[in-house]
Structure formats: structure tokens, C-alpha cells
Chains A and B, each alone.
Chain A
Amino acid sequence: AQKITQTQPGMFVQEKEAVTLDCTYDTSDPSYGLFWYKQPSSGEMIFLIYQGSYDQQNATEGRYSLNFQKARKSANLVISASQLGDSAMYFCAISNTNAGKSTFGDGTTLTVKP
């Protein structure tokens, strides 16, 4: 079984500041992928960033970076220089390779204040 825990139901950040969204995971599979998705109020799911369990370096995609701490089983998302358009729900997810199953957390609602 695999599990994702997002302990922050809601977060606020001032525009142009950085924010960290927490994600911890549990899995017995040594090979897996960790993902972050953004869901704006319009409802679509937007892929942001991916980290493989064997990747040595933390993933980065523009203003998004993933703080991957394998021993602690955490995969926090860092958004730098927040923008008003970053206001959305953010989901952390895990997908075990060779298993076909994906598990999502309950999400964190981020609100960026002007």
C-alpha cells in the first residue's frame, strides 16, 4: 500500500515571496515517482514537477523545486517568487513503478495575497 499525507489544508503567502508545501509519503516499493499537480479553480489538473526515487538531485522546473528527502520520506514543493496566478489547490502524488497505481494526497489550498 502507498499513502500521501499533506498536512496543510490551507496556506497563505505574500506575492513575490517563497512558499513551501509539505508532502510526506509511505511506500514499500523501492522504485517510485513523486509528482506535484496544480488544480486552479477552473478545475483542470496541471502537472508541475516530477522526482524519481533514484534521482540524486532535487527536481526543478522554473519557479518550482522539489525538496526530496528520501530518508524522511518527504517531497515538499517550493514555489519561489509567488504570483497571484499561483493561487490554487496543489496535490502531491506517488506512483509506484511496475504497479500501475497512483495515490494522491488531499491537497493544499494556496492563496497568494497581493
Chain B
Amino acid sequence: NAGVTQTPKFRVLKTGQSMTLLCAQDMNHEYMYWYRQDPGMGLRLIHYSVGEGTTAKGEVPDGYNVSRLKKQNFLLGLESAAPSQTSVYFCASSDRDGQPQHFGDGTRLSIL
């Protein structure tokens, strides 16, 4: 039972570099979410998707882009990484809105 899988688990980038975080879920969930968690804080919603081909902005979308070309995958892109984007990134999914979310194990991203 894989659930929600995030790749990579760790990454170090230099300022200005770009990268894509991949989230894959095998539960056939409609809803998927990307969060960031800064030290000592809760999760903040970056972007979310309510179904294949749809995306929407969350609380802190600036500097990130997302795509949901397939129902099972939700990609988070950083076009030009900045040190302020150093964080732990979590992906989650749920079968519908207002229901418990299943989380991946997180990606620890450091930007130097």
C-alpha cells in the first residue's frame, strides 16, 4: 500500500535553479494538495487540485507552479528557487473536499 509517494525526499538547490517535485497517489483520489512547512510552524497550502486538469491557488502560491495532467500525479515546480523557499514540502490527497487527507512523507528542500 504505497498511498502518497513524494520524490525526491531530499534536495539541495542553488538560488535561481529550477526543479520539480513529484507527488503520486494510488488511491484514486480526486483532490490533491501541496503544502510547505517551515520550522516550528504548521502547514501552509501552496496549490491544490480538485481533479485531473484543474489547479487552484492556496495561501502561499507565489514562486510555485503546479500541474495535474494525470489524476494520480500532482507536480510542484519552482521556476527560480530562492532561499525563502527552503522548507519541507508535503503532498496530500483526499477522495473529496472536507475529508481527511493522506500525506506523503515530505520533501526536505534546501536552497543555498
Contacts and interface: CB of A to CB of B under 8 A. Distances in A.
Interface of A: 4, 31-33, 35, 37, 43-47, 50, 52, 91, 93, 95-107
Interface residues of B, number: 26
B42 A107 contact: yes
Q: Which of A45, A50, A101 has the most CB of B within 10 A?
A: A45
A100 B50 contact: yes
Contacts of A102: 33, 45, 48, 101
Contacts of B33: 102
Given A103-B45, A107-B42, A45 B98 contact: no
26 contacts: A33-B99, A35-B101, A43-B106, A44-B103, A45-B90, A45-B103, A47-B103, A95-B97, A95-B98, A95-B99, A96-B97, A96-B98, A97-B97, A97-B98, A100-B31, A100-B48, A100-B50, A101-B45, A102-B33, A102-B48, A104-B35, A104-B42, A104-B43, A104-B44, A107-B41, A107-B42
Contacts of B59: 101, 103
Nearest to A47: B100
B88 interface: yes
Given A43-B105, A44-B105, A100-B31, A33 B44 contact: no
Does more than half of chain A's interface fall in helix, strand or loop, or is it mixed? strand
B29 interface: no
Interface string B62-92: 0000000000000000000000000010101
B82 to A, nearest CB: 23
B41, B90, B101: which has the most chain A beta carbons within 10 Å? B101
A14 to B, nearest CB: 25
Q: Give 3 closest A-B pairs by Cβ, nearest first.
A: A97-B98, A104-B42, A45-B103
Contacts of B103: 37, 44-47
